[in-house]
Amino acid sequence: MEKDDGGWWRIVTDRVKPGDPYGFRLESGLVVPDPASRRQFGDVHSLSVLVDPTAYEWKTAGWNGRAWEETVFYELHTGTFSPRGDFDGIVEKLDYLKETGITAIELLPVAEFGGRRGWGYDGVLLYCPHEVYGGEEGLKRLVDAAHERGLMVFLDVVYNHFGPDGNYLGAYAPEFFHEEIHTPWGAAIAYDEQPVRDFMIDNALFWLEEFRIDGLRLDAIDSIKDTTDTPLVKELAARVREVFPDRHVHITTEDDRNITWHIEREGGQPTLVSAEWNDDFHHTAHVVATHEEEGYYADYSRKSVAQMAKALATGFVFQGEHSGHRGRDVGVSSAHLPPTAFVNFLQNHDQIGNRAFGDRLADLASRRVVECLQAILLLSPQIPLMFMGDEFGSTDPFCFFTDFDGELGAAVREGRRAEFKKFAAFHDEDARKLIPDPNAETTFKASMLDWSAIGRPTYRRRLEMVKRLLERRQKLIVPLLSGELPRGCGEYHVSDETLAFVVAWHLKDGAVLHLFANLDDEPWALPSDVVTGDLTCGTLLHAHPKDAEEALKTGILPGPSVVFRLESQKLLAGAGR
Q: How far is CA 349 from CA 109, 157, 379, in A?
A: 11, 14, 22
Q: Which helix (H) or strand (E) holds 433?
A: none
Using an 8 Å Cβ cutoff, are 61 and 86 in contact? no
Mark residue 510 as left, alpha or beta (left: phi above 0; alpha: psi -120 to 50; beta: remaining).
left
Q: What is the DSSP string of 281-343?
A: HHHHHHHHHH---SGGGGGGSSSHHHHHHHHHHHS-S-SS-EETTTTEE-----TTS-GGGEE
Among 285, 238, 235, 234, smallest CA distance to 261 is for 234
Q: What is the DSSP string of 193-244?
A: SHHHHHHHHHHHHHHHHHS---EEEETTGGG----SSS-HHHHHHHHHHHH-
Among 206, 98, 116, smallest CA distance to 157 is for 206
Q: Reduced to 3 states, what is the DSSP secondary structure of residue 11?
A: coil
Please tell me the distance from the alpha carbon of residue 348 to that of residue 75, in angstroms, as a whole number. Answer: 7
3-state helix, strand, coil in the chain (%, to 5): 35, 20, 45
Q: Reduced to 3 states, what is the DSSP secondary structure of residue 98?
A: helix
Residue 254 bears catalytic tag: yes
Residue 437 CB partners (closer than 8 Å, separation 6+): 413, 443
Burial 228-240 (b: 16+ CB within 10 A, else e): eeebbbbbbbeeb
Using an 8 Å Cβ cutoff, are 46 and 33 in contact? yes
How far, in whole angstroms, is CA 528 from its chain's centroid? 39
- The pairing of strands 383-387 and 490-494 is unpaired
Among 19, 52, 49, 55, smallest CA distance to 37 is for 49
Using an 8 Å Cβ cutoff, are 344 and 302 in contact? no
Residue 321 bears catalytic tag: no
- The single residue of 34, 165, 219, 226 carrying the catalytic annotation is 219
> Alpha helices of 403-484 — where are they, by DSSP H?
406-418, 429-432, 441-446, 457-472
Q: Reduced to 3 states, what is the DSSP secondary structure of residue 143?
A: helix
- Torsion sign (Cα): 128, 27, 199, 159: positive
Q: How far is CA 377 from CA 174, 229, 285, 437, in A?
A: 45, 37, 10, 33
Q: How far is CA 451 from CA 96, 388, 391, 562, in A?
A: 12, 11, 11, 29
- Torsion sign (Cα): 379, 153, 344, 113: positive
Please tell me the distance from the alpha carbon of residue 556 to that of residue 524, in angstroms, as a whole number. Answer: 6
Using an 8 Å Cβ cutoff, are 18 and 52 in contact? yes
Q: Reduced to 3 states, what is the DSSP secondary structure of residue 503?
A: strand
> Alpha helices of 82-219 — where are they, by DSSP H?
87-91, 94-100, 135-148, 169-172, 194-210
- The single residue of 131, 136, 156, 254 carrying the catalytic annotation is 254
- Could you give the residue numbers annotated as active site? 219, 254
